[in-house]
Amino acid sequence: CAKPPPAYESKYTPDTTNQLAPDPRLVVDRGNDGVLTAMFSGDSLTAGFYATTPEDAFPALVAAGLGNVNLVKAAVAHQTAVVVAGVVDVPPGLNLAVIELGTNDVGARTPLTDFRSQYRALLDKVRNKNSAAAILCLGTWTLAGDAYDGIISEECQQSGGKYVELKSLFSDE
């Protein structure tokens, strides 16, 4: 029996082993009731744009794959991290927070210092109310987002989260 690869434990400890970790799996504590409470926060992709049905949007697909999930979606389409971070109300009781931001910031050319501070503010909101939640930070959905992806990766790891780049998925038709 092969030993499974090491996984991130949902504690507030940064994983600095690999910035672009090829294994995006997280160990998420579902709690005593077995229900996973997951928040998806982001822009157009999280809102379900470009999906053929609401069930085909990535938050719904991920939730379906995870099983018994209480899905909390906090998305603002066509907006930057500045707007989303400012309006998202992060609830307590999360086991998992998935953050998908930055793509609109690339297009809007949000100054990197502004992007960093707003992304950090959203991560801080998550951590302040959910100290043991697993955090998954998704990179930008573009080929031109390297500077933003670097910030997402750094800030996510500093919050004890796991970064997953999306650029290779974007370029694969």
Helix (H) or strand (E) holding 41: strand 36-42
- Contact at 8 Å (CB) between 47 and 83? no
pLDDT at residue 6, rounded to an integer? 35
State both tokens at 59: 């938050």
pLDDT at residue 25, rounded to an integer? 58
Task: Enumerate residue ranges in the chain where pLDDT < 70.
Answer: 1-27, 31-32, 75-76, 173
| Chain CA centroid to CA 118, Å | 14
pLDDT at residue 144, rounded to an integer? 93
State both tokens at 162: 């796991």
pTM exceeds 0.75: yes
Contacts of 83 (CB under 8 A, 6+ apart): 76
Choose among 12, 25, 16: nearest CA to 133: 12
Angle of helix 146-158 versus helix 112-129 axis, rounded to 10:
30
- Contact at 8 Å (CB) between 160 and 18? no
